[in-house]
Amino acid sequence: MELEKRHLELINKNLPRLFQDIGSLSVVLDRFGGIVYANKAFLDFTGYGEDIKGKCFLDIFIEEKEKIRDILEKLISGKEEKIHINDVTLKNGEKKLILWDNNRIENEKGETEFIVSLGFDISFREEYQEDIKKINRALLSLTSDFKENLQIIIKTAFEISQAEACLYNKVENNKIKTVFSVGLPDSFPKEFDAEGSPCKKLYDEGIEDYESDFSPEDEYLKSKGIKKYYGVLIGDKDKKTGVICFFFKDKRIKKERLKILGRALFLEAQRENFYNLLIKEKNKYKNFFDRMPFGIYIMSLPLRKIEYVNDMAYELTGYTKDELYKFGGDVVDKVVHREDRDKFLNFLKSDRVFKDSLRLRWVKKDGTVIWTERNFTPFYDEDGNLAGVQAAVRDITAETKYNEDINSYTKAILLSSQIDGIFLKNKTEHVFSRLLDMLLSITYSKYGFLGFLDEDNNLRCGAMTENVYGACKMGDIIPHSMIKKSSSIWARTLIEGKINILNKQTNVPGGHIQIENAVSIPLSYGERVYGLILIADRQGGYGEKEIGIISKIASHISDRIYTLIENDRLRQKEEKMKENIANAMRLESLGVLAGGIGHDFNNILSAVTANLSLLIEKLSGEEKDIAEETIKSAEA
């Protein structure tokens, strides 16, 4: 209890100083979920006051208590990834979606004593999904290099804003100095008089943002047709570092999204200051540094001796304190992944070593591979010679995975768009071959087949790679009887309605192509399997990733292919019906014609018999008998 009390005193003394002015939502919880500390940004955002200190976070802010309690318990035990998203209920009842970056602080026993969480409001991401994905990618790509991060944020702001130009300016001595710009030529002035400019007005008054009509004096801006100005203050009225300025022709300004990036830029400035503060006062707050959520170690030169390693560095490597001190400069061979060692050593020799951060893999003592980001800070002796380096190492495994997931999601969107294009831009007879070509390209496969069942359950070929068609001399139809007898993966897929995988060679009849590996995936409409996709011969075979991609594509196109097939069948039936109607009409015409001919013949015959009746009165003997027989035959 005494140790815990000391830690609480340390937190209460130092955290306000470190986190109070940070724009992100900062909150510290104890291992029971109690609120130990919340910064001003968090209190202002939620509408609560200092009186929430000591109360349970879940009781105040969370509706899905059991779900978040489970996440909290996993965080405390170290089993949960550090980044997660959940809803927070504000004092006014409004819900906000928050992205949390959680870090554990342990005591001397290795037990979690506190959770330090930094939150970002992403409530609007559903409405502005595409822009938010861009912002997330930008924020996740930030390193410890402030200059590089500034450029990433400004470029992202420029892309999202759709402005004609974007500048990050500082106001000094009644002059506006451009630190970085996008969309402007190199000849554009980097410094100009601030008097009367909207940028200076925004900066001097300390307002959050400022929009106005704008008539530029600069010839380049005139040529671009600039009509509007919009600026975002970096910081707030009491603590500001600059202004992001946007110039528009005539567009709707995405203010909230641009303010997010403005806050991100301010946070980067604060992060740099925070990091410098830690370096400056590391000895003063050594106990606090020992429990920081990132690894720190100091090595003296030229002996390459490790002088200091904090607790998190032990956790990141899995080695004990004595082992790390013993390794000294050989720690590289022990923890840096074999494939990343040359990259690491080349970085140390470059002029970027004290400027840029470095991302590489570490192998822990138990063999676990993690992604890390590190920066180096030099120490110089009184003569100005390099005497040592300090390294700060952060575990970015979760962030790397999150970034990969976002990239996968983006690829899925592009793939969906590509599929939509195939259906929209191609005639029905070309759709199947285009889809098959796309699948082969995505999976790096050589052979493929896309087929569907007709009304008699015979398998019809919709598309097939030419090399298979020519070599195997396959027909366009495989009878249902052959499907039932076959033990091939495509037949099993049609019968079972399941994915079938073949990652080995099989015996094939003479004249057929030898298949090294293949995967067969059903095409379904509701409960009914109506076709399949078969692709084959991918170098390395088909793993979970490839099968997952093909399955998603099959799911995406199944209903649409079925609709195409059914529409084609209806069209064929309609054409057959039209043909039958035309034949019937021709037969009817022949019947009418035959009836007319018979009627005309009867008229002629009547005239002949009438004349014979007149002649019979003048005839006798055999001639009279012949005439009477003729009349009888005509009347019969």
Q: Is the same domain home to 171 and 254?
A: yes
The CA distance from 397 to 313, in Å, is 15
What's the total number of domains in the chain? 4
Structure tokens at 449: 């087949």
- ∠ CA 53-56-62 to the nearest 5 degrees? 120
Using the 3D structure, point to which of 66, 87, 121 is the last residue of a domain: 121
Q: Is residue 305 part of a domain?
A: yes
Check the CA dihedral 348-351-355-359 and report its sign.
negative
The CA distance from 331 to 329, in Å, is 5
Q: Is the same domain home to 181 and 255?
A: yes
pLDDT of residue 472: 54
Q: Is the same domain home to 298 and 274?
A: no
Q: Is the same domain home to 530 and 458?
A: yes
Give 55's pLDDT tier (boundaries 50, 70, 90): very high
Give 47's pLDDT tier (boundaries 50, 70, 90): very high
**DSSP sequence for 288-353:** HHHT-SSEEEEEETTTTEEEEE-HHHHHHH---HHHHHHHGGGHHHHHB-GGGHHHHHHHHHSTTT
Using the 3D structure, point to which of 121, 143, 177 is the last residue of a domain: 121
Give 631's pLDDT tier (boundaries 50, 70, 90): low
Using the 3D structure, point to which of 121, 152, 175 is the last residue of a domain: 121
Q: What residues contact residue 440 under an 8 Å CB cut-off, 6+ apart?
A: 446, 447, 448, 465, 535
CA 156 to chain centre: 17
Structure tokens at 238: 């009491």
The CA distance from 113 to 94, in Å, is 31
Query: 353 vs 408, which has greater pLDDT?
Result: 353
pLDDT in tens, 440-464: 888 888 888 888 888 888 998 888 8
Average pLDDT in the 143-162 region? 82
> Is it the case that residue 165 has pLDDT exceeding 60?
yes
Average pLDDT in the 298-319 region? 76
Q: In what order do the strands lie in the sheet with 175-182?
A: 191-193, 175-182, 165-172, 240-248, 228-235, 209-213
pLDDT of residue 61: 93
**DSSP sequence for 506-517:** ----TTSPPPS-
Q: Is the same domain home to 137 and 215?
A: yes
Q: Is the same domain home to 475 and 498?
A: yes
The CA distance from 46 to 60, in Å, is 10
- ∠ CA 170-373-117 to the nearest 5 degrees? 75
Query: 206 vs 139, which has greater pLDDT?
Result: 206
Q: Is residue 51 part of a domain?
A: yes
Give 201's pLDDT tier (boundaries 50, 70, 90): confident
pLDDT in tens, 409-441: 556 666 767 777 777 777 777 888 888 888 888
Structure tokens at 441: 């390209």
Q: Is residue 627 part of a domain?
A: no
Q: Is the same domain home to 164 and 262?
A: yes
Q: Is residue 614 part of a domain?
A: no
Instruction: Find where tokens 């899995």 sit.
Output: 318
Average pLDDT, the chain: 78
The helix or strand, by DSSP H or E, that contains position 299, with its residue range, turns out to be strand 295-300
Check whether the bond before 189 is cis (ω within 30° of 0).
Answer: no
pLDDT in tens, 70-79: 888 888 887 7
> Is it the case that residue 333 has pLDDT exceeding 80?
no
Q: Is residue 412 part of a domain?
A: no
pLDDT in tens, 91-118: 999 888 888 888 888 887 878 888 888 8
Question: Residue 548 forms beta bridges with which residues?
Answer: none
> Is it the case that residue 59 has pLDDT exceeding 90?
yes
| CATH number of the domain within which 114 lies | 3.30.450.20
Give 547's pLDDT tier (boundaries 50, 70, 90): confident
Query: 511 vs 163, which has greater pLDDT?
Result: 163
Q: Is the same domain home to 260 and 391?
A: no
Q: Is residue 229 part of a domain?
A: yes
The CA distance from 478 to 468, in Å, is 15
Structure tokens at 235: 């910081």
| CATH number of the domain within which 462 lies | 3.30.450.40
Q: Is the same domain home to 133 and 235?
A: yes
Maximum mean pLDDT: which of 314-328, 466-480, 593-607: 314-328
Helix, strand and coil content of the chain, in percent to the nearest 5, comes to: 50, 25, 25
The CA distance from 257 to 253, in Å, is 9
Q: Is residue 285 part of a domain?
A: no
Q: Is residue 622 part of a domain?
A: no
Q: How far, in Å, are 102, 362, 364, 512 from residue 369 at the CA level?
A: 21, 6, 6, 45
- Rounded to a whole number of angstroms, the CA Rg of the chain reads 41
Query: Where in the sequence is the domain holding 18, given as residue range(s)?
Result: 2-121
Maximum mean pLDDT: which of 48-57, 112-121, 171-180: 48-57
Contact criterion met (CB below 8 Å) for 343 and 130: no
Query: 549 vs 252, which has greater pLDDT?
Result: 549
The helix or strand, by DSSP H or E, that contains position 504, with its residue range, turns out to be none
pLDDT of residue 58: 93
The CA distance from 113 to 432, in Å, is 60
Q: Is the same domain home to 56 and 112?
A: yes
Q: Is the same domain home to 372 and 269?
A: no
> Is it the case that residue 590 has pLDDT exceeding 90?
no
pLDDT of residue 275: 46
Q: Is 112 helix (H, G, I), strand (E, B) or coil?
A: strand
Q: Is the same domain home to 9 and 101?
A: yes
